[in-house]
Amino acid sequence: MKKFELTAESKINWFGRTLFRIKACIDFTTTSGDEVHKGDLGGFVEKESNLSHSGKAWVWGNAEVCGDAEVCGDAEVCGDAEVCGDAEVCGDAKVCGDAKVWGNAKVWGNAKVCGDASIFSTKHIFCITPIGDYANSLTVFRTKHLEIKISFEWELYTLDEFNDVIDEWDDMKNREVARAALEVAKMHIDLNPEEKKGDD
């Protein structure tokens, strides 16, 4: 059974591609606990293959998915986020806000990408789990301004802000693991301006 269908409502994105708003064909609850009811409108996709009919994956609001990009598993794309090219957003991943995931980028597992993220390849994102007392995912990514941001427990931080958060943790081992993860992420993430695409 189909989870959604394409509606007649369409728009042309800045790539010149025609995107269609989706409409739910069944009732289901997303991994984040939000209910989608039959007939509810979602975001925009270029074609049905951009969003899997299986799992709890969904595209919300004005979010866009186009090209050969795929949202699958229990992933969610919301806000004004864009997922394009050959990008994949799968597992329990969430892409929201004004985030852009393009090219051959892969956002998997429990990764949370938000704000003004600008991810075009696997060199622009780093996710590690478990971190902290509640074994949450720590997602480190680059922004369109070639800065590093951190998404943790549904909050968005700069490096300095997150280091302040770590300082408040009681468990020394958790602090050491989080700091080590940040160091690895900083070495992994490419802030090369030549790889910066789609900037305003």
129 and 102, same structural domain? no
* pTM for the predicted model, two decimal places: 0.83
Structural domain contains residue 116: no
109, 141, 176: which is the final residue of a domain?
A: 109
In a domain, 65, yes or no: yes
Same structural domain for residues 72 and 48? yes
Domain assignment of residue 117, yes or no:
no
Q: Is residue 118 part of a domain?
A: no
Domain-terminating residue out of 43, 76, 109: 109
Give CA 62 to chain center in angstroms.
14
115 within a domain of the structure (yes/no) = no
pLDDT for the residue numbered 125: 92
Residue 91 near residue 134, CB atoms below 8 Å: no
Instruction: Examine the domain organization and report whether 105 and 127 are in the same domain.
Output: no
| H or E stretch at 187 | helix 172-188
Tens-level pLDDT at each residue, the chain (200 residues): 899 999 999 999 887 899 999 999 999 999 889 999 999 999 999 999 999 999 999 999 999 999 999 999 999 999 999 999 999 999 999 999 999 998 888 898 888 898 889 998 889 999 998 999 998 999 999 999 999 999 998 899 999 999 999 999 999 999 999 999 999 999 999 988 764 444 43
Strands 88-89 and 106-107, sheet pairing: parallel
- Domain hosting 169: range is 123-195
> Do 100 and 127 fall within a single domain?
no
User: Are 98 and 166 found together in one domain?
Assistant: no
Domain finish residue from 109, 139, 163 = 109
Task: Classify residue 11: in a domain, yes or no.
Answer: yes
Identify the burial level of 35 via C-beta atoms within 10 angstroms of its C-beta, where 0-12 means exposed, 13-18 middle and 19 or more buried. exposed
**Does residue 116 contact residue 98 with C-beta atoms inside 8 Å?**
yes
Say yes or no: 32 and 10 in one domain: yes
Same domain for 84 and 139?
no
| 95 shares a domain with 37 | yes
The answer to whether residues 96 and 133 belong to one domain is no
- Do 75 and 130 lie in one domain? The reply is no
Please tell me the total count of domains within the chain. 2
Q: What is the DSSP letter of 46?
A: S
Q: Are residues 9 and 84 in the same domain?
A: yes
200 within some domain: no
Whether residue 53 is found in the same domain as residue 134: no
Closest residue by Cα to residue 89 from 173, 97, 68, 80: 68
